[in-house]
Structure 1
Amino acid sequence: MNSPTTLFGHLKSWAETDPQRTALIDPLPTDAASEGTESGHVRISVSDLLARTNEFADLLAEHGVGPNDCIAVWLPSWSDTYAWQFAASALGAHVIGVNTRYNVAEVGHVLTKARPQVLVVAHGFRNLDFLATARKAIAEVDQETAAQQDRSPGEPFTPPKAFVWAVPGAASEPTIADYDLGAGAVLVPAESSTIDQAATSFAAAAPEESRLSVAFTTSGSTGMPKLAAHRESAVITHSQQVASRIGFTTGDVLVEPLPYSGVFGYSAGMGALFGGAAVLLHPVFDEQELVRAWSTFSGSHFVGADDMLSRVRKVCEDTGTKLESWRWAGVADFQGMSADIAEWAAEQFGTRTVGVYGSSEVFALTSFWPNDTPEELRYSGGGRLVDPRYEYRIADPVTDQPVSEGSEGEVQLRGPNVVDHYLGDQGEGRKNFTSDGWFQTGDLGRAHGPEAFEYVCRMGDVIRLRGFLVDPAEIELHLITHPDIELVKVVGRSSDVGEPEVVAFVQPVPGTTPEPEDIRQYCRQQLASFKVPTEVRLVETMPVTAGTNGSKIKTAVLREWAAQPAVVGQ
């Protein structure tokens, strides 16, 4: 029997093979709980997921969506979010996930670039007014499009049809007429009316090797995000390789607090499904609720950010909760806490933690470290490429030529995991590739054999001190061992005479007020003198951005602060 060549085909195959296998575990608000729920959650079988997918595919087909069309999905992570992806696959369409935190300008940018035929929008989620944001975004797009038409006539902007999805337990029912953004609005049924997989009217699209499946917004530090799109065949093979490398099996449960709209939540979730595991969904991060659900459903795997696990750790320590089922964690080290958390999880539960690597343009989990990697390397970013067809090289960022073994340079990638197309591309995509076809990640790394590399830092974060390229993390890893330091971030700035120097921003442990000069002396005990921060500044809280893949410290803001005299409250 030939293997399915579409995501929809794989879902049908799973339902035929083991229809009651749990695919997703949905949380429900207390007032939405009903018969069949389990500790405030409901299990969604692959059969249930297929039924919902069929319903969505019928709805999309009824409204004219077909091959190569785009569906924008602006929802929190519930099982229906997955169903829209499989429904798009059934029709040969592709999905662009929209972060629930996006503002007017960002939503307008996605709509302009992706030109979706349909916008699936949540109603009643955390009292967020998606409707008002969408209306303002489209008004601004219309205004900008009209101005562009005067300068250079082109294809006019057509607003998407709104498919309104009421969040389980929403305080009010949506008024469909209000959601008409210019192309009409449709109410999405609250739940499947049937689980008969044969009760469908749409015609499944024939698979095509080049057909797009999903696009992710990039998280660049400047300008609006690009919309990095990937072929369906690449999504399938990547998910299969992730499932195999992690070792997912039937009965495993992936604890996934990251949103499905982002590349990390998406790649991890799809890998779990392809491995036969269930995905425990968590639309709004609440560490206490997450730990309760994790314990109840015997979560075996976790993919997410170190700041999330830091909060999970505190709940476990405060409540005495033992996550004995937790076997493996793939962690993105956004705040320099991975090693400390990994040691805690290993000691308490026997968990193996590894650093992971990826991005919107090359898939998340494009590489991660094997469990037997030495500890000094295992918690860092990078790792072994998950697919033998993926290639990497470490290149001089100026010449794009490979550097000598052991040297640092830009991580460049090539293979089916690399972005196939940027939605709405006007030439910016070409800038990310070398003349000989390698994707330039903008990350500094070093080689570890032909299949693995170590992520060092973003190219823009590296600091040149006394002629040496210094990774700020080297200084941060020492500073975080200070007993009075809870969080630290190191940035570079130019001195009065134009020489690079280091500034360390320190968030103290609550109840402590360490002296900056004492912290500098602490650095002198272990670090070379030129790596000792010129200045240490105490901050009450770090400036962070809550992105699709977790909270990240705003390095650019800290660089601005470092360039100015210290003020109270920094």
Structure 2
Amino acid sequence: MTIYKSTFPDVPLSEATITQRVFENIDPKMTVLIDGPTGRKCTGAQFIQDVKSLAGGLEARGWGAGKTIALMAPNIPEFCALFHASAWAGGTVTTINPTYTAPEVNHQLEDAGAEVLITIAMFADIAKEAIKGTRINDIVIIDEAPAGMIPLDDLRGPPMDAQTPVDVASHVVVLPYSSGTTGLPKGVMLTHQNLVVNVDQILAVTGLAGARETTVAFLPFFHIYGLQVLQNVYMAAGGCLVTMPRFDLELFLSLIEAHKTPKLWIVPPVALALAKHPMVDKYDLSCLEQVNSAAAPLGADVAEAISQRLGTHATQAYGMTELSPASHVSPFGKGKLGASGAALPNTECRIVDTQTLKDTAPGQEGELWVRGPQVMAGYLNNPEATRESIVENGWLRTGDIARIDGDSFVYITDRLKELIKYKGFQVAPAELEAALVSHPDILDAAVIGVPDDESGEVPAAFIVIAQHREALSLEDVQSYLSQRLAPYKQVHLLNVVEAIPKSASGKILRRVLRDPPTT
């Protein structure tokens, strides 16, 4: 067995909860949260008080210790307070994508066993529809609450001064949903220890520890990248977050200039904009020291273009929801073009042949397996999927094909899994296919990812239509899907075919769709 161990010293495992870890370095007098569009500010003291008051309110209403709350909101300061209020009260948060449709929200609420849904007025109608058939009776609204819903201020209660005791190694504090390597979205069980050790791993090799830096947080907090690398890491480092409820390039650039942010954490589509968009030249971005991209591989040419244009380091990191999320970063802003970073402290890797499941020779490609204290506890309500993902002695199969060089940098070269990565979001072909075949005029369907310069990949559908239907346009299909799935899961390309290629066991032969036989 060939094990590639991190070249950095291990960080100790902590007995702290994630909220205790975040509180540890907060300066009560310093501004720790700024609402980007309005400039509204929150000091460290206000944040801590807000967390404790909301924790007391959750406990008083029976939504505290041992309960799961659903949080469906954009990046606003209240998101951070609510997440940590639940954690402080001994509860669990399931974070929900605000662009989800009611059926998608309903599935997550039911699967996670949520007791209450907290959202904003914009999503009140979807929330009302989504809670039908679940155990939820109450919806809390962060801003102006419609009739019959609970205003956030009414949720506040007597401050809970102390952390509700939990077993940090086993208590699941957050349940983000991920498609894993295949299939429909599953709840990823992440413990306090998972989150805390990953915060400490990241701080140990990024130069953020003690720096009290400010950064712009547009990466959604409902996604583990935004939740951990921005919200928890920066606050645990005593820093400040400037929140953006949605990405807008002009606002993003103006906030970087105004707040003089030294480091950015982005995804490839934003990297492409920084490299090529003419608007970038209108802003003074000389404050930037490092632009770090993750969630999907970044082309070496784009990274080089950013470095040349902005005079900064353009680096990459690697992770997944099941890794809390990071396993590799470019240490202290020093990366290699095309590489996704080096292993974090406490992290071990293997490169395994996908056919034999034996380790490959050094320098050769194979599936990346990762082991460390940041590996998830498993998938909620899905022991079979857990066993398929976490194998022999705690190794997590990432589903990504990679190689590791002599300096311990990992290069992601391909993807074993079928997951499509659209602008950093995970799109499961199986979920899209299920929605497509529910159309009365679609007999069969298959979905693959097609490379796209702006988005990384876009979903392309192959469909077999009923004989009575002469044609079915891309617009027809998009209109149908828009009522059932979030916008990022939308089909961008459509091919009408006579049959979907399948194996003898009935599995879709996606490689045939990607590389059709020549005639």
TM class, shorter-chain normalised?
A: 0.7 to 0.9
The amino acid of 1:13's aligned partner reads E
**In structure 2, do the counterparts of structure 1 residues 316 and 213 end up closer, same or farther at CA, with 3 Å as the change threshold?**
farther
| Per-residue Cα deviation, 1:166-186 (whole angstroms, up to 9, x for no partner) | 1xxxxxx42241x4xxxxxx2
Q: How far has the Cα of 1:136 moved from its partner?
A: 3.2
**In structure 2, do the counterparts of structure 1 residues 380 and 201 end up closer, same or farther at CA, with 3 Å as the change threshold?**
closer
Task: Kindly indicate whether the alpha-carbon contact (under 8 Å) linking 1:291 and 1:315 is maintained by their aligned counterparts in 2.
Answer: no
1:208 aligns with 2:170: no
Task: Kindly indicate whether the alpha-carbon contact (under 8 Å) linking 2:313 and 2:334 is maintained by their aligned counterparts in 1.
Answer: no
Q: How far has the Cα of 1:77 moved from its partner?
A: 0.8
Residue 437 of structure 2 corresponds to none
Residue 286 of structure 1 corresponds to 248
**In structure 2, do the counterparts of structure 1 residues 343 and 563 end up closer, same or farther at CA, with 3 Å as the change threshold?**
closer
The amino acid of 1:19's aligned partner reads P
Task: Kindly indicate whether the alpha-carbon contact (under 8 Å) linking 2:198 and 2:374 is maintained by their aligned counterparts in 1.
Answer: yes
**In structure 2, do the counterparts of structure 1 residues 304 and 552 end up closer, same or farther at CA, with 3 Å as the change threshold?**
farther
1:67 to 65, 87, 90: 65
Q: Where do residues 305-316 of structure 1 align in structure 2 (5 Å cutoff)?
A: 305-314=267-276
> Tell me, what secondary structure is at the counterpart of 1:393?
strand
The amino acid of 1:385's aligned partner reads A
1:350 aligns with 2:319: no
Q: Where do residues 83-482 of structure 1 align in structure 2 (5 Å cutoff)?
A: 83-124=81-122, 130-139=123-132, 142=133, 157-159=134-136, 161-166=138-143, 173-177=144-148, 179=149, 186-189=150-153, 200-201=159-160, 204-209=163-168, 210-219=170-179, 223-248=183-208, 249-269=210-230, 270-314=232-276, 317=279, 319-332=281-294, 334=296, 338-370=299-331, 377-381=336-340, 383-387=341-345, 389-425=346-382, 427-449=384-406, 451-460=408-417
**In structure 2, do the counterparts of structure 1 residues 73 and 358 end up closer, same or farther at CA, with 3 Å as the change threshold?**
same
Residue 21 of structure 2 corresponds to 10
Residue 25 of structure 1 corresponds to 34
Q: How far has the Cα of 1:397 moved from its partner?
A: 1.9
The amino acid of 1:263's aligned partner reads I
Structure 2 Cα separation of the partners of residues 291 and 423 of structure 1: 39
The amino acid of 1:212's aligned partner reads V
Task: Kindly indicate whether the alpha-carbon contact (under 8 Å) linking 2:325 and 2:374 is maintained by their aligned counterparts in 1.
Answer: no
Q: Where do residues 546-565 of structure 1 align in structure 2 (5 Å cutoff)?
A: none
Task: Kindly indicate whether the alpha-carbon contact (under 8 Å) linking 1:27 and 1:282 is maintained by their aligned counterparts in 2.
Answer: yes
**In structure 2, do the counterparts of structure 1 residues 265 and 556 end up closer, same or farther at CA, with 3 Å as the change threshold?**
farther
**In structure 2, do the counterparts of structure 1 residues 455 and 21 end up closer, same or farther at CA, with 3 Å as the change threshold?**
same
> Tell me, what secondary structure is at the counterpart of 1:410?
strand
Bigger relative contact order, structure 1 or 2 (CA pairs below 8 A, ≥6 apart)? 2
Q: How far has the Cα of 1:281 moved from its partner?
A: 1.3
The amino acid of 2:29's aligned partner reads Q
The amino acid of 2:291's aligned partner reads A
Structure 1 Cα separation of the partners of residues 211 and 344 of structure 2: 21
Task: Kindly indicate whether the alpha-carbon contact (under 8 Å) linking 1:355 and 1:368 is maintained by their aligned counterparts in 2.
Answer: yes
Q: How far has the Cα of 1:99 moved from its partner?
A: 0.5
Task: Kindly indicate whether the alpha-carbon contact (under 8 Å) linking 2:36 and 2:243 is maintained by their aligned counterparts in 1.
Answer: yes
TM-score (norm 1): 0.68
Structure 1 Cα separation of the partners of residues 356 and 49 of structure 2: 53
Q: How far has the Cα of 1:243 moved from its partner?
A: 1.9
The amino acid of 1:8's aligned partner reads T
Q: How far has the Cα of 1:271 moved from its partner?
A: 1.4
Q: How far has the Cα of 1:137 moved from its partner?
A: 3.0
Task: Kindly indicate whether the alpha-carbon contact (under 8 Å) linking 2:339 and 2:412 is maintained by their aligned counterparts in 1.
Answer: yes
> Tell me, what secondary structure is at the counterpart of 1:427?
helix
Structure 1 Cα separation of the partners of residues 129 and 75 of structure 2: 24
Q: How far has the Cα of 1:303 moved from its partner?
A: 1.0
The amino acid of 2:141's aligned partner reads V
Q: How far has the Cα of 1:132 moved from its partner?
A: 2.9
**In structure 2, do the counterparts of structure 1 residues 363 and 201 end up closer, same or farther at CA, with 3 Å as the change threshold?**
closer
What runs of 5+ residues in structure 2 fail to find an aligned partner?
Answer: 1-12, 420-448, 455-473, 496-509
Moved more, 96-105 or 6-15: 6-15
Q: How far has the Cα of 1:555 moved from its partner?
A: 9.6
The amino acid of 1:228's aligned partner reads V
Task: Kindly indicate whether the alpha-carbon contact (under 8 Å) linking 2:181 and 2:399 is maintained by their aligned counterparts in 1.
Answer: no
Structure 1 Cα separation of the partners of residues 418 and 128 of structure 2: 38
Question: What's the Cα RMSD here?
Answer: 3.7
Structure 1 Cα separation of the partners of residues 408 and 87 of structure 2: 32
Structure 2 Cα separation of the partners of residues 505 and 416 of structure 1: 33
Task: Kindly indicate whether the alpha-carbon contact (under 8 Å) linking 2:68 and 2:92 is maintained by their aligned counterparts in 1.
Answer: yes
Tell me the matched-pair count: 432
Task: Kindly indicate whether the alpha-carbon contact (under 8 Å) linking 2:339 and 2:410 is maintained by their aligned counterparts in 1.
Answer: no
Task: Kindly indicate whether the alpha-carbon contact (under 8 Å) linking 1:288 and 1:315 is maintained by their aligned counterparts in 2.
Answer: no
> Tell me, what secondary structure is at the counterpart of 2:25?
helix
Q: How far has the Cα of 1:70 moved from its partner?
A: 1.1
The amino acid of 1:10's aligned partner reads R
The amino acid of 2:16's aligned partner reads T
Structure 2 Cα separation of the partners of residues 349 and 507 of structure 1: 20
The amino acid of 2:258's aligned partner reads T
Structure 2 Cα separation of the partners of residues 333 and 44 of structure 1: 29
Structure 1 Cα separation of the partners of residues 79 and 71 of structure 2: 7
The amino acid of 2:305's aligned partner reads W
> Tell me, what secondary structure is at the counterpart of 2:118?
strand
Structure 1 Cα separation of the partners of residues 280 and 229 of structure 2: 29
| Per-residue Cα deviation, 1:53-99 (whole angstroms, up to 9, x for no partner) | 11211110110123232111111111111111211121111211100
Q: How far has the Cα of 1:318 moved from its partner?
A: 5.7
Q: Where do residues 29-68 of structure 1 align in structure 2 (5 Å cutoff)?
A: 40-68=38-66
Structure 2 Cα separation of the partners of residues 505 and 411 of structure 1: 22
**In structure 2, do the counterparts of structure 1 residues 370 and 60 end up closer, same or farther at CA, with 3 Å as the change threshold?**
same
The amino acid of 1:138's aligned partner reads I
| Per-residue Cα deviation, 1:144-185 (whole angstroms, up to 9, x for no partner) | xxxxxxxxxxxxx5225322211xxxxxx42241x4xxxxxx
Computing the radius of gyration over CA atoms, which structure comes out larger, 1 or 2?
A: 1
**In structure 2, do the counterparts of structure 1 residues 297 and 401 end up closer, same or farther at CA, with 3 Å as the change threshold?**
same
Q: How far has the Cα of 1:365 moved from its partner?
A: 2.9
Task: Kindly indicate whether the alpha-carbon contact (under 8 Å) linking 2:54 and 2:156 is maintained by their aligned counterparts in 1.
Answer: no
Structure 2 Cα separation of the partners of residues 404 and 564 of structure 1: 32
The amino acid of 1:295's aligned partner reads E
Task: Kindly indicate whether the alpha-carbon contact (under 8 Å) linking 2:110 and 2:135 is maintained by their aligned counterparts in 1.
Answer: no
